[in-house]
Amino acid sequence: MSEDSRAQRRVVIVGAGMAGVQTAVALREEGWPGTITLLGAEPHRPYDRPPLSKAVLLGAAEAHPGPGGPESPATFDVDFAALGVELLLGRHVTALRPAERHLVTAEGTVPYDRLVIATGAEPVPLPGGETAPGVHMLRTLDDALRLRPVLAAQREVVVVGAGWIGAEFATAAREAGCPVTVVEAADRPLAGALPAEVAERMAGWYAESGARLLTGSRVAAVEPGAVLLADGSRIRAGAVVVGIGARPATGWLAGSGVELCEGGAVRADDRLRTTVPDVYAAGDCASFPSARYGERLLVHHWDNALQGPAAVAAHIVRGGAEVPRYDPVPYFWSEQFGRFVQYAGHHAGADRMVWRGDPGNASWSVCWLREGTLVALLAVGRPRDLAQGRKLIGAGARLDPERAADPSVPLKSAAA
């Protein structure tokens, strides 16, 4: 394709979160000369999500109007005009028509030559409680702004779900002085993310912060001022915050020919191409095959939304032959109950777990090995372990389990 013809072509990105914004930036860094259009469903200028459960939620800084739409402390520091990126905000895409190469929105169709799906994930609602008064999610800037008065008034809060988002919100609510009860259907927090022997060590963090954790408990109904549990007990609630999981926001792709995996994620290949020509996917909505782990991964975390766009942009600009396969070491972090928790890798399929330090203390780590090779690591208050472990996982390094179990030995020195 000549430079002149490429300059006439249009890349459209659906989704103005981290993955969408980074795709636009990466395209310009790769030298894409054509038009770039970024569509966002929300009216706000594109913003990052991690600050929502911290600075925005606790009112550390105010949202304010800005050029092109409302801004918040989480707004990306990106000059879209200087990059030549067209922002179409408040645009809900309802369908994809690949044969015509256009998207359908309430405001009309949007044509594309290359399309990037970066619509992320949406929270799973509480069954039967979606429209109950006082029930909140924490996914968007508007969600955080609606919850700020709840925390400021120090109302009694019931959090449904003891996963990552539930723990982070419970932390913020306790910092604000709210009485907090966390209701979890499983027998431990983080049941879907970590093995029992690790997750159960984290259960005590709730009580230390002054929050009450009820495991093995299911919500039967949300009533005015209370939550009714399946065992018949009631918990007073000035507000209910639901954090029971997220699912890819891909319903708008029905009938498009874009293949979805079970659960709704876009089925992408190892270059993040979908099953429809010239259509890519990145971030929380994209499932990709990992050669490192021998299975498909769906990673609902910030770092994946940061890395994937570079691979997509490189493929669009340079073509598949010059672009390495997308196979990152998954990484995420969580700040909860005064602890900095980091995780790298993917521990499914590991055959050995090695503790580094006493989990009853303030800092400790866990290593997962598969046939002697480090495949995942969880670090609590040990950022050096995480930094070294992430590199070792990427290199496919083997570890000496005995040396790795000694927290005084740098993890890199335990490499066999």
Gap between the Cα atoms of 380 and 365, Å rounded: 6
* Residue 378, domain CATH: 3.30.390.30
Q: Please indicate, yes or no, whether residues 102 and 187 belong to a single structural domain of this protein.
A: no
Q: Would you say residue 327 lies in a domain?
A: no
pLDDT at 6: 63
pLDDT at 13: 98
On whether the CB atoms of residues 9 and 113 are closer than 8 A, the answer is yes
Q: Would you say residue 330 lies in a domain?
A: no
Whether residue 66 has pLDDT greater than 50? no
Q: Please indicate, yes or no, whether residues 47 and 143 belong to a single structural domain of this protein.
A: no
Q: Would you say residue 24 lies in a domain?
A: yes
pLDDT at 354: 98
Q: Please indicate, yes or no, whether residues 275 and 316 belong to a single structural domain of this protein.
A: yes
Q: Please indicate, yes or no, whether residues 258 and 231 belong to a single structural domain of this protein.
A: no
On whether the CB atoms of residues 229 and 219 are closer than 8 A, the answer is yes
Q: Which two tokens stand for residue 82?
A: 């200087």
- Residue with tokens 């044509």, as numbered in its chain: 111
* Cα angle 305-126-70, degrees, rounded to a multiple of 5: 50
| Strand partners of residue 104 | 95, 109
Q: Please indicate, yes or no, whether residues 116 and 147 belong to a single structural domain of this protein.
A: no
- Confidence category of residue 350, pLDDT binned at 50, 70, 90: very high
Quick one: what percent of the chain has pLDDT higher than 70?
94
How many Å is the Cα radius of gyration of the chain?
Answer: 22
Q: Which two tokens stand for residue 337?
A: 């109950």
Domain closes at, from 258, 289, 322: 322
Q: Please indicate, yes or no, whether residues 166 and 260 belong to a single structural domain of this protein.
A: no
Cβ-in-10-Å burial (0-12, 13-18, 19+) of 295 comes to exposed
Residue 100: Cβ within 10 Å count: 10
pLDDT at 378: 98
Q: Would you say residue 331 lies in a domain?
A: no
Domain closes at, from 290, 322, 354: 322
* Residue 152, domain CATH: 3.50.50.60
Q: Which two tokens stand for residue 316?
A: 């669009």
Q: Would you say residue 332 lies in a domain?
A: no
Q: Would you say residue 218 lies in a domain?
A: yes
- Confidence category of residue 235, pLDDT binned at 50, 70, 90: very high
Least confident span in 140-144, 259-263, 268-272, 282-286: 140-144
Q: Residues 251-263: what's their mean pLDDT? A: 97
Gap between the Cα atoms of 215 and 297, Å rounded: 28
Domain that holds residue 274: 3-121+246-322
pLDDT at 68: 42
What is the tally of structural domains in the chain? 3
- Name residue 365's amino acid: S
Gap between the Cα atoms of 112 and 76, Å rounded: 25
Distances in Å between the Cα of 337 and the Cα atoms of 60, 118, 143, 178 are: 18, 31, 22, 14
Whether residue 199 has pLDDT greater than 70? yes
Is the pTM value of this prediction over 0.85?
Answer: yes
Nearest to 202 by CA among 177, 178, 224, 171: 171
pLDDT at 101: 98
Least confident span in 47-61, 208-222, 252-266: 47-61
Whether residue 67 has pLDDT greater than 50? no
On whether the CB atoms of residues 180 and 159 are closer than 8 A, the answer is yes
Q: Please indicate, yes or no, whether residues 133 and 194 belong to a single structural domain of this protein.
A: yes
pLDDT at 127: 86
pLDDT at 2: 52
pLDDT at 77: 92
Whether residue 128 has pLDDT greater than 90? no
Q: Please indicate, yes or no, whether residues 13 and 80 belong to a single structural domain of this protein.
A: yes
Gap between the Cα atoms of 188 and 174, Å rounded: 20
Q: Residues 50-77: what's their mean pLDDT? A: 66
Q: Would you say residue 226 lies in a domain?
A: yes
Phi, psi of 58 (to 5 degrees): -90, 5
Q: Please indicate, yes or no, whether residues 117 and 133 belong to a single structural domain of this protein.
A: no
- Confidence category of residue 40, pLDDT binned at 50, 70, 90: very high
Q: Please indicate, yes or no, whether residues 252 and 310 belong to a single structural domain of this protein.
A: yes
- Residue with tokens 């006082």, as numbered in its chain: 134
Taken in order 127, 131, 133, 139, is the CA torsion positive or negative?
A: positive
Q: Please indicate, yes or no, whether residues 42 and 179 belong to a single structural domain of this protein.
A: no
